Amino acid sequence: MLAMAMFGFGYLLVPLYEKFCEITGIGGRTGGAMVEAELSSEIDHDRTVRVQFVSTVNSALPWRFEPTERFMDVHPGKLYETKYIAYNRADHAVVAQAVPSVSPGRAALFFNKTECFCFTEQLLSPGESRDMPVRFVVDPNLPDRVDLVTLSYIIYKNDEATAVLAAVN
* Torsion sign across C-alpha atoms 28, 29, 31, 34: positive
* CATH number, position 43: 2.60.370.10
From first to last of the 169 residues of the chain, give the pLDDT tens digit.
555 444 444 444 444 444 444 444 444 444 444 444 445 468 999 999 999 999 999 999 999 999 999 999 999 999 999 999 999 999 999 999 999 999 999 999 999 998 999 888 999 999 999 999 999 999 999 999 999 999 999 999 987 766 666 676 6
Show the DSSP H helices in the chain as ranges: 2-24, 36-39, 159-168
* Domain count across the chain: 1
| DSSP character string of 89-136 | -SSS-EEEEEEEEEESGGGGGGEEEEEEGGGS-EEE-TT-EEEEEEEE
For residue 150, what are the domain limits? 2-168
